[in-house]
Structures are given as C-alpha cells and as structure tokens.
Amino acid sequence: TAKKVAFVGLGNMGGGMAPNLVKAGFEVRAFDLSAAALAQADAAGCVPAATAAAAVEGVDYVVSMLPDGAIVEHLYIDGEPALLDCMPATALVIDCSTVAAASSRRLAEAAAQRGIQAIDAPVSGGVAAAAAGTLAFMCGGTEAACTAAEPVLSAMGSNVLRAGDSGAGQVAKICNNMLLAVHMIGTAEALQLGVDNGLDPAVLSDIMLKSSGCNWSLEKYNPYPGVMPGAPASRDYQGGFMVKLMQKDLGLAQAAALASRSDTPMGTLARSLYGLHAHAGGEDNTELDFSSVQRLFSRP
C-alpha cells in the first residue's frame, strides 16, 4: 500500500512540491489555511484535509513548507492541538521551511520527547525548481532520520544533502544565501562599473565568465537587463526569488552571526543594501526578484 504523507503549507513552494509526491506514488493528505491553495492541491491529486490535525492522522511522514519559525513552532508545538500530539509516534517530520536553526532544534527536541523523529530540510531552488522536482534539500538531523526522509525528498528534488545534526540544514541554507546575496551585489556593481566606462554589459559578462570573476549569479542569473534572455532581469525582475525573502534570509544570517559572535561584514553590508534597495526611490521593490539590486547602481 502507498505510504501516506501529510503536507502542510501549499503556497508558492509547497503548491509545486506536493503534486510531485502524488506523481511518485505517495498518498498525500494536504492542508493549508488558504482555501484556494487547498483546491489547487485537490486538483493535483492530493486529498484535502479539514484541519492540519486531521491531515497527520495515521501518516508515515509529515512535510511542512510554511512562511516562518513562529508559525512552524505554533503549529507543531504550542498550538491547540499541537500537531506533534496528533500524529503517530512512528511518523517522520520533515520541515522544509526556512526558519532559525533554534526553531528547528526546538521542534526536533519536542518531537523526540514524544518518540517522533524530526529533521529540518530547507531548500535551495525557487518556485520553478519546486514545480519541476529539482530542489536541493539541506538536511539537519540524525543520520537515521535523514536517510529515512530520502524517499520523500528525492521525489521532490535532485539533491538531498545532510549538513549535520538538527538545525544544521538551516545553518547551511543561510550561509549559502548570504554568499548568494554578496556575489549578486558584487556582480551588479561590477557590471555597472563596466557600463559606466563604456563597455557592453554582454561583452563584459562573457569576459568575466571566462575569468576569475566567474560566479553563479553571472553564470545563471545575470542581473543586467537584456544580457541573459530567460533571467528575471530580462522581464523587469518579475518572478524568481523575491527581495523580501532574501531580506528574511539575510536577517536570519545576521541573527546567527550575532549569536555565534561571528564577523560577517559582507553579509551585514548585503543586508543593509537589500534594505535600502527594498524602498529605494520611494518604490516598493520587495516583491521584485533579488537580482533587481542592479537598479541600486543604475543611472538615469
């Protein structure tokens, strides 16, 4: 018989991920506070549940893809009822939301008190990768729990990587996204410097791609409009990874740095620049793709 998965949080990401579990042969019980999101999951072959508590009854796995740590902790631990009290002790909890490592550790501990295994498995890759089933999962938890999660995660992604114990997946995620912000901003300012000094941004991009400045932003996500046809920069920065989500991740990175007393001057600057960009010129840029930071450097 098919393994049962409860899936809570069917937004931009979860709405793409849950149908891939259906395609892989899992029985998926879906729940979201939004009726529209739930209807969409229903149409994709999930079984809609009336509440999160009903969705997790008798399941083998619980997957969640929620906005932030406060919601995750409330849902599983502090809410009435706490989801951890509604699922079988044999269930494996896989939280794919991006939250603070401390939230993930609290969830894993609260689960362990009930004999339940829980891992953090935040993702890299955006909405398109979620729908295509090509996400990268960064897992934190015991080796046994991460191995047990593999059949579910590999149905939704192409890379399942264990970072370490509980919370380690979140740490890997914020380190990666802090570096992503830094090389995106660096790429944008370098391109503008070239343009201001008479270079064609496409020619400069080609040269840097074959030189030591080559990086992922330049290779896959060129921020200068018109250089890369399929990139968000070439469609007015619509779609992609929103500025406000990058701000959330940079905030988590700074909170982690404060807690561990790590020096992250580039990450701190990146957070400030994204903060400025979010409202530059009195505009609301928070829902533009994060490569729109190019506009902070462009001249009228």
Q: How many residues does the chain have?
A: 300
Catalytic site includes residue 173: yes
User: Residue 126 interacts with ligand NAD (CB under 6 A)?
Assistant: yes
Cα–Cα dist 27/29, whole Å: 7
In this chain, which of 2, 23, 25, 33 binds ligand NAD, going by CB under 6 A?
A: 33
191 vs 233 by CB, closer to ligand NAD: 233
Spot the catalytic one: 173, 210, 220, 248. 173
Q: At 230, phi and psi to the nearest 5? A: -65, -5
- CB under 6 A: which stretch of 10-18, 194-202, 204-212, 263-271 binds ligand NAD? 10-18
Fill in the per-residue mask, 223 to 242: x = in contact with ligand NAD (CB under 6 A), - = not in contact.
------------------x-
DSSP state of 67: S
Instruction: Decide: 102 and 167 in contact? Cβ < 8 Å.
Output: yes
Q: Which one of 4, 7, 14, 138 is in contact with ligand NAD (CB under 6 A)?
A: 14
66 binds ligand NAD (CB under 6 A): yes
Instruction: Convert residues 241-270 into a mask of x (bound to ligand NAD by CB under 6 A) and - (unbound).
Output: x---x--x----------------------
SS3 191: helix
CA 73 to CA 41: how far, in whole Å? Answer: 24
Q: In angstroms, what is the minimal distance from the CB of 97 to ligand NAD?
A: 4
Q: How many whole angstroms separate alpha carbon 140 and alpha carbon 100?
A: 12
Cα-based distances in Å from 169 to 115, 173, 194, 227? 21, 6, 38, 34
The nearer residue to ligand NAD, 191 or 289, going by C-beta atoms, is 289
Q: Distance between CA atoms of 243 and 249, rounded to whole angstroms?
A: 10
Q: Which residues bind ligand NAD (CB under 6 A)?
A: 8-14, 31-34, 37, 52, 65-67, 71, 75, 97-98, 123, 126-127, 241, 245, 248
Active-site residue list: 173
